[in-house]
């Protein structure tokens, strides 16, 4: 476990600053150690897995239309109380945060669109089938990008299966991936499009002075579109979070982002975001963290995305 914790520290503090190619190689090395330690430890596991890359697809992606007029959004919102958020999950020894963040966003979007209770959907399908069919930015337990997951569901599949039909396996081997077992006769959700919730940060420090308008707009995005997938910089202080409103320290530069989660609510009056993690319910506040609002903390607005979903 000691070696595993060193790897998490390296991924958090060092890999985030690397160019994409070196970042990918380093993620492979971390995945090897994570895999070797998976059966030896019963201690809490805090895996990450987001590998940021600037792409033409991202550059050409649309930004959501929002109503920013006075009184257009509530001051306090918690989508959990509206019955559209599935229970907190545990990613284990697998760099699958990106897949969980994407799938959880699809789950909530489908529940909002249909007015039906949310159905837990298959993260394993993303890890196995996306890696096989999409490849780039979609590297199973070695890491990936929510946008690659959206692309797979939208253009490379007949839809996303239910988790009960294609359950999650945190020991999925990214070096010898199993055969895709998606059931084309049983898909539950289909992504019709995705967009940025607010304009993305492309380069630089992504500081509060640069991102203040985007953070205000993100409130409207969460209120008007539902839970939002975000990718942030999970620092040592983030890993060690227990309770209260988290204020860092953590970097906001886009190149240092290493972990994807989802915003399920906010409190403008008390100035915090309600964020769901995938490290189980023993982490943080029953699996959630309240992150301070107003400073683009950990790069919370940099890669915020939403999806349009229909029943498959």
How confident is the model over 244-272, as pLDDT tens digits? 999 999 999 999 999 999 999 999 999 99
Residues 267 and 61: their CA atoms lie apart, in Å, by 28
End-to-end, the C-alpha distance of the chain in Å comes to 42
Which run of H or of E encompasses 108? Answer: helix 97-114
Burial of 87 (0-12, 13-18, 19+ CB in 10 A): exposed
CATH number at residue 173: 3.90.70.10
Contact predicate 295/304, CB 8 Å:
no
Is 308 catalytic? The answer is no
Taking residue 309's Cβ as centre, other Cβ atoms within 10 Å add up to 29
39 three-state secondary structure: coil
Residues 44 and 287: their CA atoms lie apart, in Å, by 12
Is 225 catalytic? The answer is no
Given 141, 259, 267, 298, the catalytic residue: 259
- Positions of the chain with pLDDT lower than 70, given as ranges: 1-43, 132-136
Give me 21's structure tokens.
């190619």
Given 97, 130, 138, 231, the catalytic residue: 97
The reported pLDDT for the residue numbered 5 is 37
Give me 283's structure tokens.
């982490």
Give me 79's structure tokens.
């989508």
Task: Indicate the number of domains in the chain.
Answer: 1
Give me 106's structure tokens.
């699809």
Is 250 catalytic? The answer is no
Contact predicate 297/279, CB 8 Å:
no
Q: Which of 123, 96, 95 is nearest to 4 (CA)?
A: 95
The reported pLDDT for the residue numbered 37 is 43
Angle at 83 between CA 242 and CA 147, to 5 degrees: 70
Given 130, 225, 258, 277, the catalytic residue: 277
Contact predicate 110/189, CB 8 Å:
yes
Eight-state DSSP code of residue 141:
G
The reported pLDDT for the residue numbered 204 is 83
Q: Which domain holds residue 20?
A: 2-311
Residues 61 and 199: their CA atoms lie apart, in Å, by 10
Q: What's the whole-model pTM score? A: 0.88
Residues 145 and 150: their CA atoms lie apart, in Å, by 9
Instruction: For 243, list phi and psi in degrees, rounded to 5.
Output: -165, 170
């Amino acid at each position: 476990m000691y070696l595993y914790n060193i790897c998490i520290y390296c991924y958090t503090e060092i890999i985030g600053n690397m160019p994409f190619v070196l970042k990918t190689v380093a993620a492979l090395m971390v995945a090897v150690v994570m895999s070797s330690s998976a059966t030896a430890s019963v201690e809490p596991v805090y895996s990450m897995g987001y590998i940021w890359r600037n792409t033409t697809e991202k550059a050409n992606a649309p930004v959501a239309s929002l109503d920013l007029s006075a009184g257009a959004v509530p001051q306090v919102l918690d989508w959990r109380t509206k019955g559209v958020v599935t229970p907190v999950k545990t990613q284990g020894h697998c760099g699958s945060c990106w897949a969980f963040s994407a799938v959880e966003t699809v789950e909530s979007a489908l529940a909002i669109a249909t007015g039906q209770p949310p159905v837990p959907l298959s993260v394993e399908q993303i890890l196995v089938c996306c890696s096989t069919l999409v490849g780039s930015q979609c590297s199973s337990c070695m890491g990936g990008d929510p946008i690659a997951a959206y692309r797979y569901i939208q253009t490379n599949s007949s839809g996303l299966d239910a988790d009960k039909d294609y359950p999650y396996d945190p020991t999925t081997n990214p070096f010898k991936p199993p055969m895709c077992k998606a059931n084309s006769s049983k898909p539950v959700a289909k992504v019709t499009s995705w967009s940025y919730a607010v304009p993305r940060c492309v380069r630089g420090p992504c500081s509060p002075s640069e991102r203040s308008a985007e953070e205000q707009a993100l409130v409207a995005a969460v209120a008007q579109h539902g839970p939002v997938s975000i990718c942030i910089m999970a620092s040592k202080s983030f890993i060690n979070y227990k309770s209260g409103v988290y204020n860092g320290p953590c970097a906001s530069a886009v190149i240092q982002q290493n972990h994807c989660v989802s915003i399920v609510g906010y409190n403008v009056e008390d100035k915090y975001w309600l964020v769901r993690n995938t490290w189980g319910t023993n982490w943080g506040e029953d699996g959630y963290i309240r992150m301070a609002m107003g400073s683009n903390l950990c790069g919370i607005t940099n890669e915020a995305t939403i999806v349009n979903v229909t029943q498959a």
